[in-house]
Structure 1
Amino acid sequence: MKRTFNILFATIALIACNKSKTIPAAEQIIRIPYPVTERGNQKDIYFGTVVADPYRWLEDDQSAKTSKWIAAQNKITSTFIRQIPYRGAMKERMKSLWNYEKFSAPFKEGNYIYFLKNNGLQNQWVIYRTKGEGSKEEIFLDPNTFSKDGSTALTDFSFSRDGSLMAYQFTEGGSDWTKVAVLRTADKSIVGDTLVNVKFTTLAWKGNEGIFYGTYKRDIKGNKFSEKTDQHQLQFHKINTPQSQDKLILGGASFPRRFITSKVSGDGRYLMITSANSSSGNELLIKDLSQPTSKFSTVVGNLSGNHEILDIVDDKIYIRTDLNAPNGRLVAAEISKPSSAYWKQIIPQTNEVLQATTAGGKIFAHYLKDALSSIRQYDLNGKFEHKIKLPDIGSVPTVGVNAKAGDKYLYYYFTSYINPGTIYKYNISSGRSERYKKPSIQFDPTDYISRQIFYTSKDGTRVPMIITHKKGIKLDGSNPTLLHGYGGFNISVTPTFDVRNVILLEQGGILAVANLRGGGEYGTKWHLAGTKMQKQNTFDDFIAAAEYLVREKYTSAQRLAIAGESNGGLLIGACMTQRPDLFKVAFPGVGVLDMLRFNKFTAGEGWIFDFGSPEESVEMFKYLYHYSPYHALKQNTAYPATLITTADHDDRVIPAHSFKFAARLQQFQKGKNPVLIRIDTLAGHGGATSTELTIEQQADKWAFMFHNMGLSYHLLK
């Protein structure tokens, strides 16, 4: 018997309401069958336990049968979404909100000052340059010309030390596999051939001679998007030579590491290497590029901690490390004695998590206090000089703090959930900041409030959450609320403005973001508390956040939606299967949803540090099997209205995770809540998505959420 789901029918009377100030929710519902998904007989045995996997065939993302299934699912999803009466109005409002000039902090390379800008609705940001502040700007590189549909995107770029050359990395269709081209900055001409099969890499210059980059051997006969990437190779490409002549610098079978990245010291002399096999723990190596026959020197020779070389200045290596410092500290070592036995402490560990960068000949220590930014300036010997005064609670991306040695100023970017992102010019000598650029957007931060609260998780742990909403709303349990989380891979979720959330906020809704265990907000201990056989802590933290929002009458279970992407998609899948009664709507995005097979594809084995392996032990298998969202689904259970999102070119978390979860959820769902999956084509894990596609995606999500909560949509002037 075919399973069915609810699809709305917009009557002529409802369509007529578009002319009024409010578009009501749909009143009439018709029944439409889900696409039939074939069930196979695949069974696997783990430590004596038989596990059925009836949708294994959906892992073949190149088969005609899978393509047919994708088309059928997308058709039913599109039919549903596009009949929601206010979906079109939401899309137009989203376009209107998005249509403002956005820009990055400027940075100097050679004789030019460069910056990125998006005029409003451009699919990709454009690199501009000027001869100096106030002089005429020109387009240097426009990624919008790379493809007609915006599916080819710039992902990274690196200038040679004198600024005469720039290597840039770009993706086609959102894949993690990228290509690299080199430009001569004087006339913007292409130099040499385009490099292919590049992945998970930085671009580092050796003078003007060439670039270091990372690649993996590819099985061209295998499955294009799910093939494993397990032995990274750091290559050197000499400009104006064929890629086939590139030299292996490190990696491959002789030095098997899953991830290898490189950068060159500010003076151009040293190659600095970070190598790792998993999402946590790395080695550090250095090589003197001024000596052609020099060998690599080991700075850190084990994978038990996390370390980063900030720079090498006057033969002194500056290292951020968590060795004997779970919150991080800064140390220095002489080139002649680089090992940890000779490290000298520059900035000690504190109660706040430390990240750091060097800029303008100084050290800028970026501290996280309850996931909020605080920045202090030190000299290279660790002497405190200034604390940067920030305008509000929020965050400063460390990557935005950049200046070359000798520069008098640097620029930094400040943002929060209600601050659209303001650039400040900072005087390195005086420690004073002045506003440099503020965007002009249809959003007034003074109408909203964003505040941090703390709630108690299941085991008594104190967890922070930032709640953002319009001033003056009533806490009566009726407010539509989106709860977002991540909780993994030592990644800190910090306050960042996202124009997509404005629609929710201006409709009187609430945005809540919880800082869960598994992230990096409180250092190594916080991260480890949400890994392997403690991963349930992450889910408990998120469920407790939802219970807090309901208990304090911010919202109710019937007005609460949850969202997360990637590891956050796992979070949503786990929480909606464990507590289906607590949420009305769920958005698991590009999620890791089959915890028994995640390590079989792409870079999945590199995630074992966080997740553990189903083959590791019977205890680890049982733990993963218990919470794995795909396996935790139960027949005849009323799950939240669910819109799963993924993409056909996602070669990081392969779309089969979402395909299989959607098929089984459609099979088991009880009641009227719809289960839909949106599968974008020529798109990947999300980082390089075009503006047009992003607006389409978010309009669909808000329409789905509001409709399933029975909400009207108020048109704004």
Structure 2
Amino acid sequence: MNKNNNILRDIVVPPVAEKQPEVLELHGDRRIDNYFWMRDRDNPKVIDYLKAENAYTAEMMQHTEALQSKLYDEMLARIKETDLSVPYRKDEYYYYSRTEEGKGYRIYCRKKGSLDAPEEIILDENELAAGHEFFDLGAFAISPNHQILAYSIDTSGSEQYTLFFLDLNTHQLYPEVIPETYFSFAWGNDNKTGFYTKIDAANRPYQLFRHTLGTSFTEDVLVYHELDDAFPIYVTETRSQAYILLMLHSSITSEVHYLDANNPTGDFQLIHPRTQGIEYSVEHHSNYFYIVTNEDAVNFKLMKTPVASPAKENWQTVIPHRDDVLLSGVSLFSNHLVIYERTGGLETIRVQNLTTGEENNIFFPEPTYELYEGSNPEFNTNILRFNYTSLVTPLSVFDYNMETTQRELKKQTEVLGGYDKTQYQSEWLMATAEDGTKIPISIVYKRGIVKDGENPLLMTGYGAYGMSYPATFSGNKLSLLDRGIVFAIAHIRGGEEMGRKWYEAGKFLQKKNTFTDFIACAEYLIAQGWTASDRLAITGGSAGGLLMGAVMNLRPDLFKLVVAQVPFVDVVTTILDTSLPLSAMEWEEWGNPNEQVYYDYMKSYSPYDNVEAKDYPDLLIIAGLNDSRVKYWEPAKWTAKLRQLKTDNNILLLKTNMDAGHGGASGRYDSLRELAFEYAFILDRLGLGSGE
């Protein structure tokens, strides 16, 4: 046992070794889990253990408190604390949110008629958050006549939201309060009927209810009950405001129902029944539904079908499938079709005039960047709002005139303190995986560094669920870049950066490509002189935390330190337990461990199951007690097993937020303090903490 463990054993009550092991059996495989007992949150010894770990972490990080304060102060100093978003128009109103110095949450406002009109505060999150250690706003839906706000809040981090209705004329709440909802909500056009989703015991949104304003939720009508645990329910409205959409989507299969928003007490109609492995999403324009689908189109294609008869046999091709272009999605306006695509790893926007067929492309000059659609509630408009950012360009809000093709920068997030983007450089690199596949890397650094192998480098990645890792600007990361740290994103398989096949090559029985890709990126950066293994830090959260655990097991010698945030590390046990929120849905991502082939494969890379008696890097593990996605016991068990088996004297810390969930602290100041803690750990272990 190493010296750090000896310190901890003086704190922990009781020592984990005294607990009775649990024997888990499947496919004739006996798995002894010495720390299964940590799942019992009602056991006071579990809470004592987590508090003891927190006390140990505080003790081991005490010498960095001055550094944490300095990091917090300099990151806060870059933020314009009193600020407002770019207003967007909907009918007669301009909606926006703003922040005030010293307040941790946003204030939602509007003005009627013009931006010079008096401000009306719709909702102040700071008032709602008062007295709570955690606060998150879920639904925020204003009725079509702009008179009622439906909103929901979570004050534990468990993603269980309570739904309220606010009269925007009187600013009085309606009497009904609806508990245990999810965050999706849709209004009917009668301004009194609303649709919301309820969650089950495992936190899955599984029922859709119709509510009539001013009545008790006990009188609400159950509209749809989904019996398959793999299909959560979401509800939304089309931009045209003509239809309400009920969407059911597992990892790789979807189904959509629609309802005339002018007849909210009517029945939802099915567009196309779910077919295993077939995904589709729906938009509306005049007499047609537009459908993005992957049926016989791995990179997706665009179809349209008459609203009057949307059955599959009536689908017509609008944009055919292309092997080299991923159709990410579309957006419809009265006279324009906006097409979001990804080619060569980068996103593009194409705008088509629905009357003339003329097309225009919106181009972006930087080597790596991120863009996404902004707030566009108006259907009858020629203005498209989109957001653009890169590793060196702060978030920029653009309005693009789809008729004239003119682009107007409405706002770029201000970085206080004299940020000069010319002092930083971003690049798009290519590493080579062990099977010869080229793996993109986005990288940013302060100009002037030399590739001599001496640079500290922080690399991150995700590689799951087809989610592409965004190359976005972070004013906070200037605290690392200005200290000489290079920051890199490994765009590994399991994401969707290089198309849908990129995702499929990093899941199921090819999941290990995600891990070996990340290792290949690290080896490439070392070989090219960007860094060295004793200067290389890595970080990842959730499925990215799984990535951290897997690569740390495979190549502990390659990394100086690891930060694993809410890490999904007990893969086999978690996915076998269908009482947990995401387990049944995860079968379409990782495989069903009830089948021998998937069980064996998942067990072969599950970080918790593959901890060995060997040296590991310095490690900081972050958890949330109320996390409904990655339960607190996964990082806690992983920490305990590492303490038992690891043979080094490197530091191992577990920090559990006892008041939050998957996303950590909720207020912007508390979130900044958590980040300062993580940055202090990284700088300290890289030898950059002293005197900085």
TM-score range, shorter chain: over 0.9
Tell me by how many angstroms 1:62 deviates.
3.0
Tell me by how many angstroms 1:103 deviates.
4.6
Asked if 2 retains the 8 angstrom alpha-carbon contact of 1:585 and 1:641, the reply is: yes
Tell me by how many angstroms 1:94 deviates.
2.4
Q: Deviations over 1:316-367 (max 9, x none)?
A: 1011112222222221100232123221122233422222222454221112
- 2:572 partner SS: coil
Relative to structure 1, the CA distance from residue 61 to residue 189 in structure 2 (aligned partners, 3 Å threshold; closer, same or farther) is: same
> Which piece of structure 1 moves more, 205-214 or 572-581?
205-214
Distance (Å, rounded) in 2 between the aligned partners of 1:295 and 1:334: 16
Cross-structure match for 2:556: 580
Tell me by how many angstroms 1:204 deviates.
4.4
Equivalent residue runs for 1:276-675 within 5 Å: 276=249, 278-290=250-262, 292-294=265-267, 296-310=269-283, 312-350=284-322, 351-354=324-327, 355-359=329-333, 361-380=335-354, 383-390=357-364, 392-393=366-367, 395=369, 397-400=371-374, 402-441=376-415, 442=417, 443-599=419-575, 600=577, 601-617=580-596, 619-635=597-613, 637-675=614-652
Relative to structure 1, the CA distance from residue 102 to residue 586 in structure 2 (aligned partners, 3 Å threshold; closer, same or farther) is: farther
Equivalent residue runs for 1:47-196 within 5 Å: 47-84=27-64, 86-100=67-81, 103-119=84-100, 122-131=103-112, 132-148=114-130, 151-196=134-179
Tell me by how many angstroms 1:125 deviates.
2.4
> Which piece of structure 1 moves more, 187-196 or 75-84?
187-196
Asked if 2 retains the 8 angstrom alpha-carbon contact of 1:454 and 1:462, the reply is: yes
Tell me by how many angstroms 1:46 deviates.
2.1
- 1:451 partner SS: strand
Distance (Å, rounded) in 2 between the aligned partners of 1:103 and 1:396: 22
Tell me by how many angstroms 1:381 deviates.
6.7
Asked if 1 retains the 8 angstrom alpha-carbon contact of 2:160 and 2:203, the reply is: no
Relative to structure 1, the CA distance from residue 299 to residue 361 in structure 2 (aligned partners, 3 Å threshold; closer, same or farther) is: farther
Tell me by how many angstroms 1:107 deviates.
2.2
How many equivalent pairs are there? 678
Asked if 2 retains the 8 angstrom alpha-carbon contact of 1:356 and 1:398, the reply is: no
Tell me by how many angstroms 1:688 deviates.
6.9
- 1:597 partner SS: helix
> Which piece of structure 1 moves more, 243-252 or 548-557?
243-252
Asked if 2 retains the 8 angstrom alpha-carbon contact of 1:153 and 1:171, the reply is: yes
Tell me by how many angstroms 1:165 deviates.
2.1
Instruction: Give the residue type in structure 2 aligned to 1:465.
Output: I
Counterpart selection for 1:214 from 169, 188, 197: 197
> Which piece of structure 1 moves more, 174-183 or 653-662?
174-183
Q: TM-score, normalised by structure 2?
A: 0.92
Asked if 1 retains the 8 angstrom alpha-carbon contact of 2:152 and 2:183, the reply is: no
- 2:525 partner SS: helix
Distance (Å, rounded) in 2 between the aligned partners of 1:433 and 1:680: 43
- 1:83 partner SS: helix
Relative to structure 1, the CA distance from residue 539 to residue 502 in structure 2 (aligned partners, 3 Å threshold; closer, same or farther) is: same
Cross-structure match for 1:21: none
Asked if 2 retains the 8 angstrom alpha-carbon contact of 1:177 and 1:197, the reply is: yes
Q: Deviations over 1:541-597 (max 9, x none)?
A: 111111111111111111111111111111111111111000111111111111111
Relative to structure 1, the CA distance from residue 231 to residue 696 in structure 2 (aligned partners, 3 Å threshold; closer, same or farther) is: closer
Relative to structure 1, the CA distance from residue 300 to residue 190 in structure 2 (aligned partners, 3 Å threshold; closer, same or farther) is: same
Distance (Å, rounded) in 1 between the aligned partners of 2:480 and 2:424: 12
> Which piece of structure 1 moves more, 440-449 or 83-92?
83-92
For structure 2, the residue ranges without an aligned partner over 5 or more in a row are: none
Q: Deviations over 1:102-136 (max 9, x none)?
A: 55443223431112233466322222222323545
- 1:86 partner SS: helix
Distance (Å, rounded) in 2 between the aligned partners of 1:382 and 1:347: 16
Tell me by how many angstroms 1:33 deviates.
5.4
Relative to structure 1, the CA distance from residue 104 to residue 332 in structure 2 (aligned partners, 3 Å threshold; closer, same or farther) is: farther
Distance (Å, rounded) in 2 between the aligned partners of 1:118 and 1:548: 42
Equivalent residue runs for 1:5-44 within 5 Å: 5=4, 35=12, 36-38=15-17, 39-44=19-24
- 1:318 partner SS: strand
Relative to structure 1, the CA distance from residue 430 to residue 155 in structure 2 (aligned partners, 3 Å threshold; closer, same or farther) is: same
Equivalent residue runs for 1:223-234 within 5 Å: 228-229=202-203, 232-234=206-208
Distance (Å, rounded) in 2 between the aligned partners of 1:698 and 1:688: 10
Distance (Å, rounded) in 2 between the aligned partners of 1:258 and 1:230: 9
Q: Deviations over 1:262-282 (max 9, x none)?
A: 222344442222113x32211
Identity level (%): 27
Asked if 2 retains the 8 angstrom alpha-carbon contact of 1:590 and 1:685, the reply is: yes
Tell me by how many angstroms 1:295 deviates.
5.0
Relative to structure 1, the CA distance from residue 530 to residue 99 in structure 2 (aligned partners, 3 Å threshold; closer, same or farther) is: same
Tell me by how many angstroms 1:88 deviates.
2.5
Relative to structure 1, the CA distance from residue 43 to residue 101 in structure 2 (aligned partners, 3 Å threshold; closer, same or farther) is: same
- 2:688 partner SS: coil
- 2:180 partner SS: strand
Distance (Å, rounded) in 2 between the aligned partners of 1:622 and 1:168: 45
Distance (Å, rounded) in 2 between the aligned partners of 1:3 and 1:233: 51
> Which piece of structure 1 moves more, 333-342 or 688-697?
688-697
Tell me by how many angstroms 1:229 deviates.
4.1
Relative to structure 1, the CA distance from residue 51 to residue 712 in structure 2 (aligned partners, 3 Å threshold; closer, same or farther) is: same
Distance (Å, rounded) in 2 between the aligned partners of 1:341 and 1:657: 47
Cross-structure match for 1:265: 238
Distance (Å, rounded) in 2 between the aligned partners of 1:462 and 1:612: 26
Asked if 2 retains the 8 angstrom alpha-carbon contact of 1:394 and 1:414, the reply is: no
- 2:682 partner SS: helix
Distance (Å, rounded) in 2 between the aligned partners of 1:396 and 1:711: 30
> Which piece of structure 1 moves more, 228-237 or 524-533?
228-237
Asked if 1 retains the 8 angstrom alpha-carbon contact of 2:154 and 2:162, the reply is: yes
Distance (Å, rounded) in 2 between the aligned partners of 1:545 and 1:573: 16
Distance (Å, rounded) in 1 between the aligned partners of 2:634 and 2:644: 16
- 1:139 partner SS: strand
- 1:454 partner SS: strand
Instruction: Give the residue type in structure 1 aligned to 2:46.
Output: T
Relative to structure 1, the CA distance from residue 235 to residue 561 in structure 2 (aligned partners, 3 Å threshold; closer, same or farther) is: same
> Which piece of structure 1 moves more, 208-217 or 52-61?
208-217
Asked if 1 retains the 8 angstrom alpha-carbon contact of 2:665 and 2:671, the reply is: no
Instruction: Give the residue type in structure 1 aligned to 2:612.
Output: K
Distance (Å, rounded) in 2 between the aligned partners of 1:491 and 1:361: 30
Instruction: Give the residue type in structure 2 aligned to 1:651.
Output: S
Asked if 2 retains the 8 angstrom alpha-carbon contact of 1:4 and 1:33, the reply is: no
Asked if 1 retains the 8 angstrom alpha-carbon contact of 2:188 and 2:262, the reply is: no
State the superposition RMSD in angstroms.
Answer: 2.4
Distance (Å, rounded) in 2 between the aligned partners of 1:250 and 1:522: 37
Tell me by how many angstroms 1:305 deviates.
1.6
Asked if 2 retains the 8 angstrom alpha-carbon contact of 1:394 and 1:494, the reply is: no
Asked if 2 retains the 8 angstrom alpha-carbon contact of 1:200 and 1:259, the reply is: no
Relative to structure 1, the CA distance from residue 519 to residue 120 in structure 2 (aligned partners, 3 Å threshold; closer, same or farther) is: farther
